A and B are shown apart, each in its own frame.
Chain A
Amino acid sequence: MASKTKSVSVSKGGFAQKTLDFLRKYTMVIALVVVFILFYFLTNGRLLYAQNMSNLLLQNGYVLVMACGMLLCILTGGNIDLSVGSVICLVGGVAAVGITNLGWNPYLTVLLGLVIGLAVGVWQGYWIGFVRIPPFITTLAGMFIFRGLGRLVLDSKTVSIQDPRFLNLFTSYIKIPGLDNDERLLSPIVVGVVAAVYVIVSTYLSRANKAKKGYHQNSAAGDYGRSVIISAVILWYCWLLSQYKGISVMLVWVVAICLIYNFITSKTAFGRYFYAVGGNEKATKLSGIDTNKIYFAAYTNMGLLAGLCGLLCVARVGSVSGQTGTSFEMDAIGSCFIGGASAYGGSGTVGGVVIGALLLGVINMGMSIMGIGDSWQYVVKGGVLLIAVIFDVVSSRKAS
């Protein structure tokens, strides 16, 4: 009964209510901005140096990719995949040993790495989806198994990788002849302008379409305000990139993955089933959806993305050891929960997860620039995670 009156007051609420709703909806965005500003001052502006901003996305690229996969697992009911870090070690190890020690073709090795990731995913997905072994236990076992296999492949050594064909797939910077030369980098600006225009035009088209069909519209100020802010951020970031080396191939990978998963989760039937399973598995099953397959898909997909992350990591770091990827899964899980995914499943968005990952990334980077050690970074990260989830739980409790 209380919830019913509440919902009415939301739709008819006054300015105070609207502000509250706005704050609730964009909490994490606001938090990100606040943290940005905080570290901007704490680092005397060094945080916003082009080099740092470029590195922010590259350093956290693997987190973003993993978090996209982790989101699907978490959506099914707060289930996580603990084995991701170990899979990174295994796939990275195979790639490094294969290319450096055995002289494999780098392109085929990339393919092999993805296949290994996929195979790991199928293995875990089978037990979780069809035999219903609890995900925590299955992936905890996977964490040990694949870490061990990774070390066996590496023979407990650190193996570096220098093949330029492999590195170019991930770490080189895009140089477009005519636009970019040694003096200036125009390609980021061009990309930025195109993206910004696309955001604004698509907002316009979507509103026009809605108007034509007579659907409910958000306020024009809200829609355009949002797209102008997004465009401005894109333009600003691209301008920074043009000041430092330009667009990395890695960035293209990461952005592409985020966009693909955003599309899957928000626009496809397949994506929607993850929300349904997490929202009420029984009802979903009785609606004719094979929930076992959804679990299977979540973990298979996570394996594939972990494989990709393995390749990204090797390329960025340049070498692999038995410790590579340790506790990376925790960054991905943390990003999802900070980004508003429910620990009980059924809610969460790729956009939120990206914000969550960036928030952690900014905190890490800001503290690194300030010269604060790892240990304190852990403390602060943990605190942020806890506060974010407390806020989420408490505010949703009030809302119902």
Chain B
Amino acid sequence: MADIILEMKSITKEFPGVKALDNVNLVVERGEIHALIGENGAGKSTLMNVLSGIYPVGTYTGEIYYDGQLCEFKTLRDSEAKGIVIIHQELALIPLLTIGENMFLGNEFKNKLGFIDWDRTYSEAEKHMKQVGLYESAQTLIKDIGTGKQQLVEIAKAFSKNVKLLILDEPTSSLNDEDAKMLLDLLIEFKKQGLTSIIITHKLNEIIYCADKATIIRDGATIETLVKGVDEFSEDRIIKGMVGRAMDDRYPEREHNIQPEVGLEVRNWTVHHPLYPERIVDDNISFTVHKGEVVGFSGLQGAGRTELAMSIFGKSYGTNISGELFINGKQVHLKNCEAAIKHGLAYVTEDRKTNGLILGESIRFNTTLPRLDKVCTNGVIDRDKEVKVAGDMTEAMGTKTPTIEQAVGNLSGGNQQKALLGKWMFTEPDVLILDEPTRGIDVGAKYDIYCLINQMVANGKSVIMISSEMPELLGMCDRIYVMNEGKLLAELNAKEATQEIIMGHIIRSTK
């Protein structure tokens, strides 16, 4: 009988309007490295949040058995007390505190008087740092060590909490190859000492290198668990599991009437990171979008797609942007978002809550915001006209809401997305850039949004669609550009492209 350390049984977790996890099962044996894989939004992080108590008991259904006991975690602390420690993709370290302070933040050693016992703090910190092979003074500030070492601090911190099950969410995404390999070797070393790890990663070569088992999650459901040495354990096999869902009629038919005229052309577009100008985020990218065409951009998170779109949209991201931009055949220089909107560009942002909508304000307010001048005479808002156009737009988008005075924050995800789309449709764009237009919304709302996209191109507009969901791109686009690490890898005809081909391009360039 295998020694099971963790068993998650039929976990189901719903968010308003969307089922993030549907009957997910996960079994982890003691002393193994278990990889959890799936596309962006498949539900990996949600599952780990359920496990660690970030989503407390009662907000999900299903059972968690840890060391054979039924666990009902109410907070992160409950799970940490059992030795389950999660290290998030975005490191939770405070840059201006020392390594030691960070490691014991919230669990400070105190002397009899209740003051912090600094000697003990730092000696304990250094003890755990040695365990993970980090030879620095515990009094070094976090900001003075590199990301690779910061990752080690997180692991050392986990050891200080007496970790038995270590969960790493994309631990190598911000590391270079050398640091990444060191980290993976460290995990293998810990495994020999009996530590169990769950690793979430997109980098399949890493999984092949270090994992014993891989559980694949897709659309919030477990697909299969592959075991090294038993099943075929190759990248191709894993990709197949990740993307192999049926392509039914989730995408509305449209007549393809791509016109010869080019709606948007980008030549030799290069963008540098706004904070670290030496880092190139988008490297010499050229592409075209015809009128009446839907063009997709595929790639993993951090491929530079959002950055590309935002830098085109009135330089709203990046520094040292170079390259040429043509709208309807004419070269344009867009110095800000206002200019971009005036030239018929619209960018429907990736994150509707933080970048897209003003949640506390009404649908009416949000809809007219980018082109308030359309409902104004001499700067004075014509309220009647505004109510009319916002109402019409809400109807055209099919947003479900009692009134247009409803605060958008009170709408479901799908309806928020429709309100956001309505806001940008209101600007009457010639080129519509959609960034993850269907993230976190249910199937019905997705279908509605696809129909709206079809309507746009039927009217001779150009649509750019950035999406991490490959089936969506394959189902909706005429052409697909594949990007990875800031480079344009390939241009594919959507009819001939498959998820395997796209993934293949990405994986080959990641190595």
Chain A: interface size category: 20 to 34
C-alpha spacing A8/B387, complex, angstroms: 21
Check A269/B373 contact, CB under 8 A, given A4-B410, A288-B337.
yes
Check A288/B370 contact, CB under 8 A, given A4-B412, A269-B379, A283-B356.
yes
Contacts of B387 in A (CB 8 A): 215
Flag if B360 contacts A346 (CB, 8 Å). yes
Contacts of A4 in B (CB 8 A): 16, 410-412
Q: Which A residues between 169 and 214 are near B, CB-CB below 8 angstroms?
A: 209, 213
Q: Which of A4, A216, A347, A400 has the most CB of B within 10 A?
A: A4
Flag if A272 contacts B384 (CB, 8 Å). no
Partner pick for A216 among B336, B337, B403, CB 8 A cutoff = B403
Contacts of B361 in A (CB 8 A): 275-276, 279, 346
Flag if A286 contacts B355 (CB, 8 Å). yes
> With an 8 A cutoff between CB atoms, is A11 at the interface?
yes
Report the minimal beta-carbon distance from A8 to chain B, rounded to whole angstroms. Answer: 7
Flag if B372 contacts A269 (CB, 8 Å). yes
Flag if B379 contacts A288 (CB, 8 Å). no
Q: Give 1 or 0 for each of B344-367: 1 = CB within 8 Å of chain A CB.
A: 000101000011111111000100
Contacts of A209 in B (CB 8 A): 384
Flag if A272 contacts B406 (CB, 8 Å). no
A11 and chain B: residue at smallest CB distance: B402
Q: Which of A267, A269, A287, A347 has the most CB of B within 10 A?
A: A287
Report the minimal beta-carbon distance from A219 to chain B, rounded to whole angstroms. Answer: 16
Flag if B347 contacts A286 (CB, 8 Å). yes
> With an 8 A cutoff between CB atoms, is B26 at the interface?
no
Flag if A270 contacts B338 (CB, 8 Å). no
C-alpha spacing A307/B384, complex, angstroms: 37
Check A287/B354 contact, CB under 8 A, given A7-B402, A268-B381.
no
> With an 8 A cutoff between CB atoms, is B2 at the interface?
no
Q: Which of B387, B402, B403, B410 has the most CB of A within 10 A?
A: B410
Partner pick for A347 among B16, B360, B410, CB 8 A cutoff = B360
B384 and chain A: residue at smallest CB distance: A213
Q: Give 1 or 0 for each of A109-131: 1 = CB within 8 Å of chain B CB.
A: 00000000000000000000000
> With an 8 A cutoff between CB atoms, is A282 at the interface?
yes
Flag if B314 contacts A288 (CB, 8 Å). yes
Contacts of A288 in B (CB 8 A): 314, 336-338, 340-342, 370-371
Partner pick for B354 among A7, A215, A280, CB 8 A cutoff = A280
Flag if B379 contacts A290 (CB, 8 Å). no
Flag if B380 contacts A268 (CB, 8 Å). yes
> With an 8 A cutoff between CB atoms, is B376 at the interface?
yes
> With an 8 A cutoff between CB atoms, is B160 at the interface?
no
Flag if B337 contacts A285 (CB, 8 Å). yes
Flag if B347 contacts A400 (CB, 8 Å). no
Contacts of A55 in B (CB 8 A): none
C-alpha spacing A386/B359, complex, angstroms: 26
> With an 8 A cutoff between CB atoms, is A284 at the interface?
yes
Chain B: interface size category: 35 or more
Contacts of B403 in A (CB 8 A): 11, 216
C-alpha spacing A290/B409, complex, angstroms: 24
Q: Give 1 or 0 for each of B379-403: 1 = CB within 8 Å of chain A CB.
A: 1110110010000000000000011
Contacts of A267 in B (CB 8 A): 380-381, 383
Flag if A287 contacts B384 (CB, 8 Å). no
Check A1/B16 contact, CB under 8 A, given A11-B402, A286-B316, A288-B338.
yes
Flag if B337 contacts A286 (CB, 8 Å). yes
Contacts of A280 in B (CB 8 A): 354, 357-359
C-alpha spacing A6/B410, complex, angstroms: 9
Flag if A269 contacts B338 (CB, 8 Å). no
Contacts of A272 in B (CB 8 A): 365, 369, 372, 381
> With an 8 A cutoff between CB atoms, is A251 at the interface?
no
Flag if A279 contacts B379 (CB, 8 Å). no
Check A400/B409 contact, CB under 8 A, given A7-B402, A280-B359, A282-B355.
yes
B355 and chain A: residue at smallest CB distance: A282
Flag if B360 contacts A284 (CB, 8 Å). no
Report the minimal beta-carbon distance from A334 to chain B, rounded to whole angstroms. Answer: 23
A281 and chain B: residue at smallest CB distance: B358
Flag if B16 contacts A270 (CB, 8 Å). no
Check A346/B336 contact, CB under 8 A, given A272-B372, A285-B316, A288-B314.
no
Flag if A346 contacts B370 (CB, 8 Å). no
Contacts of B371 in A (CB 8 A): 288
Flag if B373 contacts A287 (CB, 8 Å). no
B404 and chain A: residue at smallest CB distance: A216
Report the minimal beta-carbon distance from B217 to chain A, rounded to whole angstroms. Answer: 24
A10 and chain B: residue at smallest CB distance: B402
Contacts of A6 in B (CB 8 A): 410
Partner pick for A283 among B355, B380, B383, B409, CB 8 A cutoff = B355
Flag if B373 contacts A279 (CB, 8 Å). no
C-alpha spacing A287/B358, complex, angstroms: 11
B378 and chain A: residue at smallest CB distance: A268
Flag if B355 contacts A276 (CB, 8 Å). no
> With an 8 A cutoff between CB atoms, is A3 at the interface?
yes
C-alpha spacing A209/B365, complex, angstroms: 21
Check A290/B338 contact, CB under 8 A, given A4-B16, A215-B384, A269-B379.
yes
Report the minimal beta-carbon distance from B308 to chain A, rounded to whole angstroms. Answer: 15
Q: Give 1 or 0 for each of B94-130: 1 = CB within 8 Å of chain A CB.
A: 0000000000000000000000000000000000000
Flag if B409 contacts A3 (CB, 8 Å). yes
B382 and chain A: residue at smallest CB distance: A267
> With an 8 A cutoff between CB atoms, is A230 at the interface?
no
Report the minimal beta-carbon distance from A18 to chain B, rounded to whole angstroms. Answer: 16
Contacts of A11 in B (CB 8 A): 402-403
Contacts of B370 in A (CB 8 A): 287-288
Contacts of A268 in B (CB 8 A): 376, 379-381
C-alpha spacing A290/B314, complex, angstroms: 12
> With an 8 A cutoff between CB atoms, is A289 at the interface?
yes
Contacts of B16 in A (CB 8 A): 1, 4
C-alpha spacing A8/B412, complex, angstroms: 13
Q: Give 1 or 0 for each of A271-310: 1 = CB within 8 Å of chain B CB.
A: 0100110011011111111100000000000000000000
B349 and chain A: residue at smallest CB distance: A286
Report the minimal beta-carbon distance from B18 to chain A, rounded to whole angstroms. Answer: 11
A396 and chain B: residue at smallest CB distance: B360
A279 and chain B: residue at smallest CB distance: B358
C-alpha spacing A346/B357, complex, angstroms: 13
Flag if B337 contacts A3 (CB, 8 Å). no
Contacts of A1 in B (CB 8 A): 16
C-alpha spacing A400/B360, complex, angstroms: 10
C-alpha spacing A285/B373, complex, angstroms: 16
Contacts of A287 in B (CB 8 A): 337, 341, 369-370, 423
Flag if A279 contacts B337 (CB, 8 Å). no
Known interface pairs A276-B361, A283-B354; 15 further A-B residue pairs with C-beta atoms within 8 A, sorted by A's residue number: A4-B412, A7-B402, A7-B406, A209-B384, A216-B403, A268-B381, A270-B379, A276-B358, A279-B358, A279-B360, A280-B359, A283-B349, A288-B337, A288-B371, A347-B360
Q: Considering the complex of A and B, which 4 residue pairs feature the smallest CB-CB distances, nearest first? A: A279-B358, A288-B338, A287-B370, A269-B372
List residues of A whose CB falls within 8 A of some B CB: 1, 3-4, 6-8, 11, 209, 213, 215-216, 267-270, 272, 275-276, 279-280, 282-290, 346-347, 400
List residues of B whose CB falls within 8 A of some A CB: 16, 313-314, 316, 336-338, 340-342, 347, 349, 354-361, 365, 369-373, 376, 379-381, 383-384, 387, 402-403, 406-407, 409-412, 423
29 A-B Cβ contacts within 8 A? A1-B16, A4-B412, A7-B407, A7-B410, A267-B381, A267-B383, A268-B376, A268-B381, A269-B373, A269-B379, A272-B365, A275-B358, A279-B361, A282-B354, A284-B358, A286-B337, A286-B356, A287-B337, A287-B369, A287-B370, A288-B337, A288-B338, A288-B341, A289-B337, A289-B369, A290-B336, A346-B360, A346-B361, A400-B409
